[in-house]
Structure 1
Amino acid sequence: MAEQILHLIAELDLKPGDRMPTEVELAARMGTSRTVVREAVKILSAIGRVRAHKGRGLYVSDDEGMLGAPRWGGFFLPADLDHVYMLFEFRRVQETAAGRLAAANATPVELRAIEAAAETCRRGHLTGQSALFDRGDDDFHLAIATASHNQFLVAAVREARRLQRQTNIIGMSGAVGGHASAAVEEHAAIHRAVRDGDPDGAALAVATHLDNTLEDYRREIQRRLFDR
């Protein structure tokens, strides 16, 4: 029954956050009892595919339900430098894969979104607006993931970015100055490789960007710990 409900969600073209038919309506559609439907909904809720709100109904879970905060946020410690380094390692794996797929799959609309996000980053850097830079940076990495056409990668990139923002707790927020100038050029290199349909070039450009960003973190951490 749980699988049938998932098929129905696809047939109705319901998106994350959309309201689903009620349990009574599902039972009528499936030709079964409300009790059977309720048990199936419990299963789908447990695996993060459906959200049940008391008094409001059933909803298709958003992307965080697949790989989201309740599962990862519980063990990530933003002040633990080993965790920060591990998060970058994880980002390198997922985002190089996303870059490679984006180079093969990106549509013209998705390419424009990537370019626009890169330009937002550039404006943030040139004007010294860290919030604008950070917003463009988030949009850029999510746009690459979206262009991969792999929803698991989109969810993973979104969650990893959310966790990385928590490193602000140790004062690592913003990149205006520091690595920002290089990051702007690295974004441009990623965009060119994706636009040109070069999967290997895109993966290499993403890896270079993340490696350089991590090195910038390391230098800043060392400066704060030892250069006093």
Structure 2
Amino acid sequence: MDGSPVLAAGATGALEKSGEGGEGTERSAGAYRPGYELVAEQILQLIAELRLRPGDRLLTEVELASRLGTSRTVVREAVKILSAIGRIRAQKGRGLYVADDEGMLGSSRWGRFFLPTDLEHVYDLFEFRRVQEVAASRLAASRATPAELRAIETAAETCREGHLTGRRDLFDRGDDDFHISIATASHNPFLVDAVREVRRLQRQSSTIGLHGTVGGHAEEAVAEHAAIHRAIRDGEPEAAALAATVHLDKTLEDYRREIQHRVFG
């Protein structure tokens, strides 16, 4: 389970704008998106169109507002979001820059051009996650130390507690720790970096896309985490790989179901 599903603007068909200069929100079949989220998405698209690389200077807030047909206030809020998730840097007195990203995928096409509200990108990211995390789970079942097994179990319990208490922050923290702990137990540093980076990109989807609750898959996710942990603890690589596959496939299905609900009601 990984945060709330997202909704690509292109997936909704014709959208209606309220307000002037793009400062309102967009509605389609019941979907709601604040104007600053839309502008954040547009800024990412602009970075891709201009082929800007980490360290390159971006347009000023005034120039962005003019180019995107919105106000500087909305651009400023969008910049705050993009700064918080590490996509741009705001340097006082110097302007806006595409953020330097030292992550494993930072210099790749995904690191530069991943669009958090593009459904195709999100689905491709899930496909990539499936390859990584199934491999990590299989290796962890053969290589995990007692300390690493305890870390996986603790993370799973944190996630479970977050679900039972309705604390999304606790659930998300446990979820992150669970998947990264498994990658760590694989003893493959490339898998650790890849899992961490892909989860960072996926968090961007939840931040810029539609916000929601933990999701209908949360209770199942807790049970699926337990199954993955048991297989790794018992030293059963193929069982661990299968449990990880089931978990990721069901998580993706939850995203698809929630997106369909938000688009079509």
TM over 0.5: yes
Tell me, yes or no, if structure 1 residue 213 matches structure 2 residue 251: yes
- Alignment of 1:171 with 2:210, yes or no, is yes
Gaps in structure 2 of 5+ consecutive residues? 1-100
* Matched-pair identity in %: 70
Q: CA deviation at 1:174?
A: 4.9
RMSD: 1.3
Determine which structure has more spread, i.e. the larger CA radius of gyration: 1
Query: What are the equivalent positions in structure 2 for 1:55-70 lying under 5 Å apart?
Result: 65=102, 67-70=104-107
Deviations 1:33-87 (A, max 9, x none): xxxxxxxxxxxxxxxxxxxxxxxxxxxxxxx746143433211111000000000
Using a 3 Å threshold, how does the CA distance of structure 1 residues 110 and 151 change in structure 2: closer, same or farther?
Answer: same
How far off is 1:172 after superposition?
A: 5.2
Choose the corresponding residue for 1:126, options 149, 156, 164: 164
CA distance in 1, matches of 2:166, 2:209: 21
Aligned counterpart, 1:27: none
Structure 1: gaps spanning 5 or more residues: 1-63
What amino acid is aligned across from residue 156 of structure 1 in structure 2? A
Whether 1:146 and 2:184 are equivalent positions in the alignment is yes
Could you say if the C-alpha distance between residues 220 and 99 of structure 1 is closer, same or farther in structure 2, counting changes exceeding 3 Å? same
* Residues 131 and 174 in structure 1, CA contact (< 8 A), matched pair in contact too: no
Higher relative contact order (CA 8 A, sep 6+): 2
**In structure 2, do the counterparts of structure 1 residues 191 and 217 end up closer, same or farther at CA, with 3 Å as the change threshold?**
same
More helix by share: 1
Kept in 1, the 8 Å contact 2:103–2:197? The answer is no
TM-score, reference length from structure 1: 0.69
Matched residue type, 2:254 = D
TM-score in terms of structure 2 length: 0.60
1:92 alignment partner in structure 2: 130
For residues 143 and 91 of structure 1, do their structure 2 counterparts lie closer, same or farther at Cα, with a shift above 3 Å needed?
same
* Residue type at the aligned position of 1:170: G
- In 2: Cα distance, 1:77 partner to 1:70 partner: 15
CA deviation profile, 1:91-147 (whole Å, cap 9, x unmatched): 000100000000000000000000000000000000000010000000000000000
User: Whole-Å Cα distance in 1 between the matches of residues 209 and 254 of structure 2?
Assistant: 15
Task: Sort the Cα spacing of 1:172 and 1:69 in 2 relative to 1 into closer, same or farther, 3 A.
Answer: farther
Aligned length: 163
Residue identity opposite 1:165 in structure 2: R
